[in-house]
Amino acid sequence: MRQFRRSGGSARRWAGVAVTATAALVIAGCAPADDTPVLTWYTNPDDGGQAEIAQQCTEQAEGAYRIETSVLPNEAASQREQLTRRLAAGDTSMDIMSLDPPFIPELAEPGFLAVPPSDVVEATTKDTLEGALAGATWKDTVVTVPFWANTQLLWYRKSVAQEAGLDMEGQVTWDQLIEAAADQDKEIGVQGARAESMTVWLNALIESAGGHILENPEASADEVRLGLDTDAGRAAAGVISTIGQEGLGSAGLATQAENESMLLFQGDSGSFMVNWPFVWPATNGAVEDGALPADLPDDIGWGLYPAMEEGKDPAPPLGGINLGVGAASEHQDLAWDAVQCIVTPEHQTQYFVTNGNPPSSASAFDDPSVEEKFPMAPVIRDSLDLAKPRPQTPYYNEVSTAIQQRFTPPSSVNPETTPAETGQFIQEVLRGESLL
């Protein structure tokens, strides 16, 4: 009987909860709806900088629109997969997208991206650095708006460079680095993993040697001409092969991406490293946490990416993020307004200082807080002027994946055969004759 009473009481309580919940729903349903247009901004993961800018732009819009961010997967390739599938399906929520430059042609070619109005292009690109603007363009049309630009620098241990007698104020070559590291039994931080970073490295080497991975990137799949089986391609393969076969990239080279090469560089065998600017705040953070020696930052220097030959310009890798608007977006005009707000030089400066991602706007580098936080900012700016984008083709994913498969592990690369075989493989894949 007692139990019966208890269960009866419980039932009454649950009934009360249900009535309250229903009442709350009804009241909420009757409340005036917020009809402010909502713009969804698909962002790549960061330290919260894009969400912060979205909030600021929402406030500045004074009710014209509200920006909500939706975070994409970590890897650039996974971001591309998700965005492409949604765009192909005509998802109307693709208002603003943070896009990696190499994947833009693939989205622009089938018309998945809305072309920015000329006044928006004019307002947002008037002081954009050359390399970043090249990455935002497809078939001579600006199809996205540069938001931030990234580039790799040469990071070096001052003690190692000094011992080798290298003048790090001037331009150094890959041969010099290889010789210096070999002489002192040190290891070079490069990215030898079967990942996008291999294409980044190979492209920088070939471009600096005066060649291109693709000779006519805008051509259709069966008319693409490869520039791998050339003197430039063989020279680039020679650098990768030497570092791999002589063990200069460490035993972990075959699985080493950007983060692993940074850890190698921070260790006792570190000498030189090519990598993105994130290594500077990451190293300082580790020093502050006590994970690395306090005097390590004093031994780290930076300069322009290595060149292939003395007297030739380097071709540093170009990265970064551009903003695109989906062709199926229901709020295209508002989205372009929001894009203009997001990419102002002030926001780019703020994003660099707080999240470590360099601006694509030249004037954003002028803020004193930039050099205070990133003493290498002038080198980054110079590097962005020299930076060369990866092949801009709608088939970039195939080209890149094929390169990754044939140029890894670096110790297996043969300068005489690998470039030619890779070129042939890419053509077979593009013609639909080979699996990848």
Partner 1 sequence: MTSVPTNVPAVDPDAAEDPSARRGRRRAPRSERSRAEARLGWWLAGPAFIIMVAVIFYPVLQALWDSLFNYRLTAPDEREFIGLQNYATILADGVFWSALGVTALITVVTVFVELILGFALAMIMHKAIKATRGLVRTVILVPYGIITVVSAFSWYYMFSIDSGFINNWFSWLPGIDAELNWFAQGSTALLVIMFSEIWKTTPFISLLLLAGLAQVPDDLSEAAAVDGANWWQRLWRVILPNMKAAIMVAVLFRALDAFRVFDSVFIMTNGAYGTEVLSLLAYRTSIGRLEIGLGSAVSVVLFLCVGIIALIAVKVFNVDLAGGRGGRK
Residues that bind partner 1 (CB under 8 A): 77, 81, 84-85, 88, 106-107, 109-110, 112, 193-195, 251-252, 254-255, 260, 263, 394, 397-398, 401, 408-409, 432-436
What is the number of alpha carbons within 13 Å of residue 87 lying toward its C-beta? 26
**Cβ count near 326 (within 10 Å):** 26
CB of 416 to partner 1, least distance (A): 22
Cβ atoms 322, 181 nearer than 8 A: no
CB of 80 to partner 1, least distance (A): 9
What is the number of alpha carbons within 13 Å of residue 167 lying toward its C-beta? 4
CA 424 and chain centroid, separation: 28
CB of 429 to partner 1, least distance (A): 8
CB of 423 to partner 1, least distance (A): 18
Residue number with CB closer to partner 1 (208 or 397): 397
Q: Per DSSP, which regions of 44-126 are E strands?
A: 66-71, 96-99
User: What are the backbone angles phi and psi of residue 343, rounded to the nearest 5°?
Assistant: -95, 15
For 193, 283, 285, 286, 374, the CA distances from 279, given in Å and listed in that order, are 18, 6, 10, 10, 11
Q: In 3D, which of 43, 49, 61 has the Cα closest to residue 334?
A: 61
CB of 392 to partner 1, least distance (A): 15
CB of 242 to partner 1, least distance (A): 18
Residue number with CB closer to partner 1 (192 or 306): 192
Q: In 3D, which of 173, 103, 144, 109 has the Cα closest to residue 389?
A: 103
Residue number with CB closer to partner 1 (113 or 172): 113
